[in-house]
Structure 1
């Protein structure tokens, strides 16, 4: 079911995301790929994980912005507005919102569900290794 919406998720993030090298479409695709793998291993609901993984960075203040900690809340609200527009099943909305809000390191909100943990872990794993180092360099050049 959720796979039928993936093209719409991609179209939305292509039009809404502020592009920077640390938070670009490739970052989103890596997070989604890892979230799918973690969901399979852990038994998380893809109906929650996939929209949250695709939409988790649909809004983000710059790293040095005084309201950076609010980015994930704004992204979650924006994501739910979009999910309503495309008719995504409402029974998943609260869980998707929580997963998007809790993914953020800056927000410091613990993930309360397996699905939120999967999205948070997938996002944080993208900050490791060579890609993570390159993303850190990109962010620091913009500070």
Structure 2
């Protein structure tokens, strides 16, 4: 890891933001950072870019039912860019952090163009798998007061899946 990376600066920034849903809390961010650190041991990438993007990837969170949800990663990237510009982060790396944040989101549909962006996307998606991922999915569904599944057709075969109505 980069010896110059000041994780506490990023953690403090995240803690200064308004709380969002429990599925995108500090623990989620810390798991994504941990996943990114593990992926960095296997890939040749700039750890400063990866870790900054991992810390800041959800600095703006819009609920799954928010009309502007698909723009959340772009809004997070803009907020991160402002934050990075105000601290001692290397200016030449800010645009790569911004891209990694924009590309991490499934709903944004932005393809990751750098290894750093791919690592951040994978680190975030790894947190959507397994027991933690299932728990996070149920937390979001509960917060939105959504039923778990369509009672007449739990596995959609005659209808189109609709993740806006069912958990």
TM-score by length of 1: 0.96
Unpaired segments ≥5 residues, structure 1: none
Q: Return closer, same or farther for 1:63/1:55 CA change in 2, 3 Å cut-off.
A: same
TM-superposed CA distance for 1:65, in Å, is 0.7
- Compute the displacement of 1:19 (Å): 3.0
Contact 1:103–1:111 (CA under 8 A) maintained in structure 2? yes
In the aligned structure 2, how far is the partner of 1:69 from the partner of 1:35?
Answer: 23
Q: 1:65 to 1:115 in 2, by over 3 A?
A: same
Q: Decide whether the 8 Å contact of 1:72 with 1:103 is kept in 2.
A: yes
What's the offset of the Cα at 1:17? 4.8
Distance across 2 between alignment mates of 1:108 and 1:74: 14
**Does the 8 Å contact 1:36/1:50 carry over to 2?**
yes
Match of 1:29 in 2: 30
Aligned to 2:124: 123
After superposition, the CA RMSD in angstroms is 1.2
Gaps of 5+ in 2: 145-167
Residue of structure 1 in register with 2:162 after alignment: none
Aligned length: 143
Query: Could you tell me whether the CA contact under 8 Å between 2:49 and 2:97 is conserved in 1?
Result: yes
Q: Relative contact order (C-alpha < 8 Å, sep 6+): which is higher?
A: 1
Deviation for aligned residue 1:3: 4.4
Match status 1:47 vs 2:57: no
Q: Is the CA contact 1:102–1:109 (under 8 Å) kept in the aligned structure 2?
A: yes
Answer yes or no: is the 8 Å Cα contact 2:60–2:72 preserved in 1.
yes
